[in-house]
Structure 1
């Protein structure tokens, strides 16, 4: 080979000559990947084509999570909305005025706006005392007074809707009196 001259010509390699895998990355085959042939696209299974399904996965998870969140809000609204329809109607009330007159100090308890029938209590009240409250229909307004150890005289009175109903007087040491009235139960609502 000392004196021979070789002409340079196009060099082509075939898969059979090199023993390379045609699908393996980095083997170009007969056409260069970046220069024409198939428009610069990489063979199937390599490059961007293999990564695309993995890049869509976070987006699909985010969309699924958003849809589940929306469904949860809708279900919460439907379930909560059903409770509002079942809410008990407001119980009608009537104004009741309790009044205690006289001299001295008393302990008293009276029916207030509670629908459960519990009494409001006040201790060591200086007379005169007066209070108007809304009492639910069906609850009987009542006031109880007890004089302290100093005694004296006190008078309780109950008025419903501004009309005097009852009064009573207590006298002496730890004297007691009770005044009450009757409120009719609310009329049943017509079924519609």
Structure 2
């Protein structure tokens, strides 16, 4: 996976069709991916910690979360099988990683076109008081169908006080036109420790 890092304001990076933006209503809705709200697939593997669950999404979509070797991948589809075939289902990060339990769905006139999730990226370069790697927070923007499901942008939370707004603007302004496998995933706003870790 290739990455293109930008340190300038997101407004300088993105061009949009102003007429289209003014003609639609974009807002956020939220769902949970907490295990209690999802359906577990099979039995967790105690040897490698692997587990899978399917969580209800919006507008007929489901969220598939696969975990293995202390790393998660997240994908979206009309069902588990469809989600598992998307590029997002193979989007592993090098460091240990996990997601928080809330998914933000960006929707235009009620139709979701992207999700935003907070990820925790393990930083082996610094440990907490218990001796475990510290977690660095990052927001990932993922585009939705029509078209493939894949990551389009990352925002370092610590480096950007307005991280949530940057992620929403990235979702709204270029997720729908992003071509998975051709376009480069962007780091929006200031790069920080979490975005540096995933590029190694």
TM-score band, normalised by shorter chain? under 0.3
Q: Which has the higher strand share?
A: 2
TM-score (norm 2): 0.22
TM-score (norm 1): 0.23
Q: Which has the higher contact order (CA 8 A, sep 6+)?
A: 2
**Bigger Cα Rg:** 1
